[in-house]
Amino acid sequence: MRQVLAILMAGAIVVGGSSMANAVDLVSVCSDLSASMDNATVGMMGNSARVDAAVGRFQYGTLGITPVFDPWSQQMTTVPIGFDRTWSNGIGGYIQSDNPFYNPNMMPGPTYLPMVPVYPGF
């Protein structure tokens, strides 16, 4: 920004002679400034997403529930917190387990599909 002001104060807006070189410098500096601002904006958006996820985990954790995506209804729902895996049967029932080898589809009955956590690791 200081470079832009210095070029403007030096009369870079006047086209002709050596001022043309200053105009080229001004365009280069403005381009660099624009790229820096774009990078800062992308960084802030990434931070915002992380903050939103942390706030969501805190709010849901306080309530003792966790949001999951139900593959049957294609919608987000909530289930009690504290289990690594949750399966839905498509008619409102679900099974939760911490056992990595458990498969609810080994028993006769409805087919269960795994529900996907909205906040992985939560």
Q: Tell me what pLDDT residue 113 has.
A: 94
Q: Tell me what pLDDT residue 16 has.
A: 52
Closest CA to 95 of 77, 115, 120, 72: 115
Quote the radius of gyration of the chain (alpha carbons, Å). 28
Which tokens go with 18?
């050596």
pTM for this prediction: 0.53
Which tokens go with 20?
């043309």
Q: Tell me what pLDDT residue 86 has.
A: 93
Dmax (CA) for the chain in angstroms is 87
Residues 70 and 116 sit within 8 Å (Cβ to Cβ): no
Q: Tell me what pLDDT residue 89 has.
A: 93
Predicted confidence pLDDT, tens digits, the chain (122 residues): 565 555 555 555 555 555 656 666 767 777 776 776 666 666 666 677 777 778 877 877 788 888 899 999 999 998 998 888 999 999 989 999 999 999 999 988 899 999 988 876 65
